[in-house]
Amino acid sequence: MASTLRPILLVEDSPKDIELTLAALAKCQLANEIDVVRDGVEALDYLHSRGSFAGRNTGEPAVVLLDLKLPRIDGLEVLEAIKNDPNLRQIPVVMLTSSREERDLVTSYKLGVNAFVVKPVGFQAFLEAIQDIGVFWAILNEPPPHRLSGAPRES
């Protein structure tokens, strides 16, 4: 069954948040590979298997954990690009951010985000939130069939 596991894509530019998120996901003992990219351009290159990710052959991620404030292309632009692409729009996207701005929340949902999670400030609360997200999206959530858009997808 391990061959059907899809990776989790973490899009985060903060080394501290990357480290904490990876530690929290490791505590869940998920078998999914965690792929990390550090800005919006890398995220889109990863999803489109282009640039430095041209050889990537792991299929679509189980979920994209997307930071809002990113260099080069911000999280909202990445979200919009994903949800406007018929080949990517079914990939669940969780906005994982420290922003408590209502306009970020509203805009994210208007663009089609699947969940909006404000990063808890406390270490233990942060770990628990990430673990809950990882378990839900990687294990409990039932993804749509790969042929949702009618086009065959490679796995």
Tell me the domains of the chain and their CATH numbers.
2-140 (3.40.50.2300)
**Could you tell me the pTM of the whole model?**
0.85
DSSP codes joined into one string, the chain = -GGGPPPEEEE---HHHHHHHHHHHHHTT--S-EEEE-SHHHHHHHHTT-GGGTT--S-S-SEEEE-SS-SSS-HHHHHHHHHT-TTTTTS-EEEEES---HHHHHHHHHHT-SEEEEPPSSHHHHHHHHHHHHHIIIII--PPPTTTTSS----
The pLDDT value recorded for residue 149 is 43
The pLDDT value recorded for residue 152 is 43
Flag whether pLDDT at 148 surpasses 50.
no
Residue 45 vs residue 148, higher pLDDT: 45
